[in-house]
Structure 1
């Protein structure tokens, strides 16, 4: 196989007739076998001229490499034909408490919720500048332990905090995020600051634009304190500065790729952060660190100004310490600026006081049956039932067309195109990992995914979309063990929203999570149900002892 691929590379890089014609014909026939095709000698002979024509076109394209931000002019839409995106937005009344006091032990402020911090700022019990300096000091103190900060944006943070205080003094109140510090995964561009994508080839890169997510949070009055670590090019937790660590266990990585976003939030170094997910990069670090992470419906947050990994899979969402915090942040960042072809506006009608007894809740019985009876997921299921909801067993549909593992074809092909220049320049040799399971090798192998197969994988994906939506439409929430079966890959393909949050600790003292799945464009239901659970439990209110200082 290796010899065949080497031969194919030579074949497409020089005119076919520089070899003997017979060699070219045999190589074509062998290559076709990779894709389960069988061409006769006569058919192969007829192809030679067309293939040489294609090669000439490729050569012209390769004279200048498309940058990562160059748009892919086809928009993926996860909604089946006939699906109507909700657009009637209702006013959200946030539950901001009025009686919040500053703690005697100022370190406790690190773990206050967004509503609690919003109350302190709105009622002028603390200024945004004071709060911002508090969190910047914590970032400086603890980053040697976590290795989660790529760039500290201290000057910008103080400037934004001063503006938040000045606006409040003038009677301008923008909402619960006004004056609240936060962090951005360092694949979102912010003018005047490096956007490193977590890897050596881009560690000095400065992009002269503001990402949509940053602009939305700026409008909400939030204060950017740091650009946070991600595994190299959004894979795992290893970046050019080292490995980002789990606040509960510093001998363990925080998983990825939104490693810094999860670690800093759980350690109380920031009230919240923004992550992204292509195939688990919000869910996985949220599980590892005990954060509450929202992966929104695909296309509900514009990705303009963000690194592209996979045009039809990338999503941006909040990583917080509670579902209510996630709702507040998501309300600020969802929407579009018309610069992302896949992004849409939709109504986010979250209600903090939702009566969950009236919700249609199911759990994936086929996944739960695989767990030991003492697994924390079973205890969580009983706690969910105690909320008064009628929770019915269902079988999550993870068989059929998905067995073809469509996600690897789609993700590998799109990401290889997004980083074509990196591969062709051989700068991929600078990426922190060089094993066969990491990006450099994946993108080399992806050269042998035919366009025909990539397109057909997406056609089968549309069948999967319809299948999952037909299943989900009867429920507001479906409860699943976070990494059970194929649901993580399937729901990333179909674009359904998911919320991951802690449900306790295993015998080793590491956080364990559970996941709620929702219908397309219905982040509200999974957040409302999780809030009801977190109001009655304390798993998300437990914090790593080391960082309580």
Structure 2
């Protein structure tokens, strides 16, 4: 009897296992369900799994059907991120003074020095016809051809387009049709921005030959103002890091170091004087970090300030476009040219850009004391020196801290889930395997794991994000500017989640003569104030006027 009972029990066990392991018409088993729930911290019992088994199958059938429908790159999700806290009041337009073009700018004996001139200086030379746009464009193009092999900052040289735009600019200026400070000035854009007639590679091997049949709105805005596009600059692969399918973009101050990412090309090329200015994008540090690493000034505007139509999406709710220049004044000029409402980008608005006329001593300024005090590196030391400079300017900042009681270790699933959606075809086709980097920290790996982020957790993270927005706004409204570290500390993730504007400015150098920086944070849509304080700081320091020795014209 005992043997028969054991045999019966064994048969029953095998049958139970076989039932649980039987694959249904949708291609998975109940055992698969039991295993997968561990990734989400769940533990449904057998009856619960039995109950939802067919439901899960219908869901999968729906997923399979969904994938048969084409979704265009330019399609935003119906759920558009709103960064505005409850009761938020949009700023009212104020009268802005005209930008001043200096009249006394002379051509230097060594024309190569022009490569590092500010936008107002270049504008003066062009407007007063001391140099032509064709000559200026040739100067920058020749510098790209001479130096970029060392920097690897340019993916595609748009020389033919640039020369045509330069000739047109010269004709317009000669005819008295001067369009403003950017007229005739050569620039470059991060190669996430589409330009018809040229590849838009997104820095990744699977898209090396991708041709997009329209031009991004931000490039069209600059073209309308007469700016001259000469280069598609490196984006780290799919907007991650400084490695792309052609190599690794270098820091002009130290060719043994990467330029940081993912706007590595704009950071490196602008610093080395290969372009007059550039445009980058940021989702989680990609303007501010390379600006800091390469010793330039980078403005990350308020979320939704600049149209992203025609620009690769990484995270619809976090992506921003901003200027990367040699000074805050240049950033202000470029930002004034590119911000505004675009019907093709549902996140943009008609909020005005008000340039600040306040003196530094009139500003309510705070600083993130704990983060800065804990930083014993050259970066921290230079920020503390900068605080002394601000004090000499009549500013005594208040010590504050950002909110900490939030699940910051999970917030990045927002970015990763949205990136996973945009690049779903890349992952499902297996083409992500052809990307250069395949490490644990690579974009390819990040996109693969995005498939395992539950939708419920994505929504819950965004609910916590909403609470963070409300608390941060209540804090920030007490101040005009908050001083912080750039790539370290708590502000980087927090302000990218809340959509607040920041500007990164150089503060000096470390022991290896590599640039350091600090960041000024502003209130929503209040770029004018942080730009004004950055300009005031740069007026009494000369860090923004320093250039990498190897690429400088002053040997």
TM-score (norm 2): 0.93
1:213 aligns with 2:209: no
The question of whether the paired residues in 1 share the 8 Å contact of 2:26 and 2:60 is answered with no
1:448 aligns with 2:447: no
CA deviation vs aligned residue, 1:434-464 (integer Å, no higher than 9, x gap): 1121122222211111111111111110001
Shift of the alpha carbon at 1:391?
1.9
**Aligned equivalents of 1:72, 1:366: Cα separation in 2:** 38
The question of whether the paired residues in 1 share the 8 Å contact of 2:500 and 2:521 is answered with yes
The question of whether the paired residues in 1 share the 8 Å contact of 2:315 and 2:418 is answered with yes
1:71 aligns with 2:57: no
The equivalent position to 1:114 in structure 2, one of 88, 110, 119, is 119
The structure with the largest alpha-carbon Rg is: 2
**Aligned equivalents of 1:63, 1:134: Cα separation in 2:** 50
> What pairs up with 1:409-488 in 2 under 5 angstroms?
409-488=413-492
The question of whether the paired residues in 2 share the 8 Å contact of 1:12 and 1:55 is answered with no
**Aligned equivalents of 1:418, 1:348: Cα separation in 2:** 31
Shift of the alpha carbon at 1:67?
4.2
The question of whether the paired residues in 2 share the 8 Å contact of 1:187 and 1:195 is answered with yes
1:235 aligns with 2:240: yes
**Aligned equivalents of 2:410, 2:156: Cα separation in 1:** 36
Shift of the alpha carbon at 1:64?
4.4
1:325 aligns with 2:330: yes
**Aligned equivalents of 1:213, 1:154: Cα separation in 2:** 19
> What pairs up with 1:369-388 in 2 under 5 angstroms?
369-372=373-376, 375-388=381-394
CA deviation vs aligned residue, 1:354-411 (integer Å, no higher than 9, x gap): 41211111111121221339711110110111111232222232x111x342432101
**Aligned equivalents of 1:377, 1:40: Cα separation in 2:** 56
1:256 aligns with 2:261: yes
The equivalent position to 1:198 in structure 2, one of 203, 206, 211, is 203
Task: Find the counterpart in structure 2 of residue 88 from structure 1.
Answer: 93
Task: Find the counterpart in structure 2 of residue 225 from structure 1.
Answer: 230
CA deviation vs aligned residue, 1:505-549 (integer Å, no higher than 9, x gap): 011111011111111111111110000000110011010111124
Task: Find the counterpart in structure 1 of residue 274 from structure 2.
Answer: 269
Q: Against the structure 1 CA distance between its residues 87 and 225, is the aligned structure 2 distance closer, same or farther, given a 3 Å change threshold?
A: farther
Task: Find the counterpart in structure 2 of residue 38 from structure 1.
Answer: 43
Residues paired across the two proteins, number: 532
Task: Find the counterpart in structure 1 of residue 532 from structure 2.
Answer: 528
Q: Which runs of 5+ in 1 are unaligned?
A: 1-10
1:298 aligns with 2:307: no
Task: Find the counterpart in structure 1 of residue 398 from structure 2.
Answer: 392
Shift of the alpha carbon at 1:244?
0.8
CA deviation vs aligned residue, 1:90-119 (integer Å, no higher than 9, x gap): 334213211110101111111100011111
* Residue aligned with 2:551, SS: helix
* Residue aligned with 2:155, SS: strand
The question of whether the paired residues in 2 share the 8 Å contact of 1:67 and 1:421 is answered with no
Task: Find the counterpart in structure 2 of residue 99 from structure 1.
Answer: 104
The equivalent position to 1:168 in structure 2, one of 157, 170, 173, is 173
Q: Against the structure 1 CA distance between its residues 471 and 429, is the aligned structure 2 distance closer, same or farther, given a 3 Å change threshold?
A: same
TM-score (norm 1): 0.94
> What pairs up with 1:398-409 in 2 under 5 angstroms?
399-401=404-406, 403-409=407-413
Task: Find the counterpart in structure 2 of residue 15 from structure 1.
Answer: 24
**Aligned equivalents of 1:185, 1:484: Cα separation in 2:** 24
Task: Find the counterpart in structure 1 of residue 15 from structure 2.
Answer: none
**Aligned equivalents of 1:218, 1:230: Cα separation in 2:** 21
